[in-house]
Structure 1
Amino acid sequence: MNLIEIIKADYQQFPNNQSYNIYAEDVYFKDPLTEFRGLKRYQSLIDFIRKWFKDINLELHNIKQVEDTIHTEWTLNWTTPLPWQPRVSIPGWSELKMNSDQKIISHIDYWHCSRWEVIKQHFPL
C-alpha cells in the first residue's frame, strides 16, 4: 500500500489504529494549538483526542501529492464531553512533508477558522 492509501485509511478510522510507522521518529508537528517534535508526543496527542472526545469523525475531502509533500483537505468533528454535549467542527488542511525514505518528517495542520470560533462552538447561544 502506498503512502496516500495509508493516509486515506488512517483518516477513515481516526483516531483509532493509526499508522505511526509512516512517521519519522523526530517528526515535527504543528497546529493552531500546539507545536512539538517527536513521534511519542504525536502518539500522545492522538491518544488524548481518542480518550477525551466522543464521536470523532475526520472526513477527508481531498488528498494529493506534489513532489515531497502530501496535501490533505479535511473536516474534523467531535462531541465534547460537557453536560450539553456540543458538537464541534474544524475544517482545515494539512501539509505532510516526506524524506527520501518516504517517512513523514513534518505534519502541519491549518484551520479554516480561528481558535476563537472553535471555542464559541462549545457555548452556543
Structure 2
Amino acid sequence: MEEFETEKEHRLTLELVKELWSKTYNTDGNPDWSHILPYYDDTIYFRDTIQEIRGIAAFKEMTDRLTERSKDLNMKLVKVVQQGDDIFIEWEMTISYKKYPSSILYGLSRLTLNEQGRIIEQRDYYDLWGDIFDNIPSFGKRYRKFMKKKFG
C-alpha cells in the first residue's frame, strides 16, 4: 500500500506543473529542482539546443551546473497546456550569469509522461544565441539582420 501512495504522490498533472515549475527558479533567484526531480523517470531523455542527456543522474548534474553558473534565475510561465501524455510549457527565463548582464530567453518545453505519470522525455526549444545577443547593445540588431538575410 505504501508503494502505491508514493507512486501516486509523484504522478504529474497539469496543475502540478503550473505550481511546481513556477517555484523552480524563484527561490531567492537561485534555481532549485529538488521538488520536481521526483517527477522525472530514472530513464529521462532530455534534449535542448546544446545538449542531449539520458538518465536522472546526468539530468541532475545538468541542473547542478546551471545552478553553479547562474547568479540569478527566474522563470515566468506564459502558457501551460496538455494534450494526451504531453504537457507544453511556454516560458520566459531571465538569467544572470556571474560575469554578464541579465538575458531573457523565450522558449517552450514539451514534457512527455509515461504510464506512471512521470516525465520520460523533455524537449526544450529556444533560440539561445538570438535571445542572448538581443541584450548586447548594437550587436543584437546586427545578428538579427544577418539571420534575416541568410535564413529568412
TM-score (norm 2): 0.71
Q: Provide the rounded CA distance (Å) in 1 between the counterparts of 2:59 and 2:20.
A: 14
Aligned counterpart, 2:53: 36
Aligned counterpart, 1:73: 90
After the TM superposition, which of the residue ranges 12-21 and 30-39 deviates more from structure 2?
Answer: 12-21
Structure 2: state its 5+ residue gaps.
Answer: 1-8, 25-30, 139-152
Please state how far the C-alpha of 1:65 moved relative to its aligned partner. Answer: 0.8
Q: Provide the rounded CA distance (Å) in 2 between the counterparts of 1:116 and 1:79.
A: 15
Aligned counterpart, 1:120: 133
What do the CA deviations read for 1:1-31 (whole angstroms, capped 9, x no partner)? 7522332233222221331111110100000
Percent identity (aligned)? 26
Distance 1:42-1:122 versus aligned 2 partners, 3 A rule? farther
Please state how far the C-alpha of 1:101 moved relative to its aligned partner. Answer: 0.9
Please state how far the C-alpha of 1:54 moved relative to its aligned partner. Answer: 1.7
Structure 1: state its 5+ residue gaps.
Answer: none
1:61 and 2:71 aligned: no
Q: Which has the higher helix share?
A: 2
Q: Provide the rounded CA distance (Å) in 1 between the counterparts of 2:98 and 2:134.
A: 13
Q: Provide the rounded CA distance (Å) in 2 between the counterparts of 1:9 and 1:46.
A: 19
What do the CA deviations read for 1:31-72 (whole angstroms, capped 9, x no partner)? 001111111111111111122102210110111110010011
Answer with 1 or 2: which has the greater Rg.
2
Please state how far the C-alpha of 1:93 moved relative to its aligned partner. Answer: 0.3
Q: Contact 2:105–2:132 at 8 Å: present in 1 too?
A: no
Q: What is the root-mean-square deviation of aligned Cα atoms in Å?
A: 1.9
Q: Secondary structure at the match of 1:78?
A: strand
Q: Contact 1:87–1:121 at 8 Å: present in 2 too?
A: no
Aligned counterpart, 1:90: 105
Q: Contact 1:6–1:19 at 8 Å: present in 2 too?
A: no
Aligned counterpart, 1:10: 20
What do the CA deviations read for 1:70-112 (whole angstroms, capped 9, x no partner)? 0110011111111xx311111000111111111111000001x
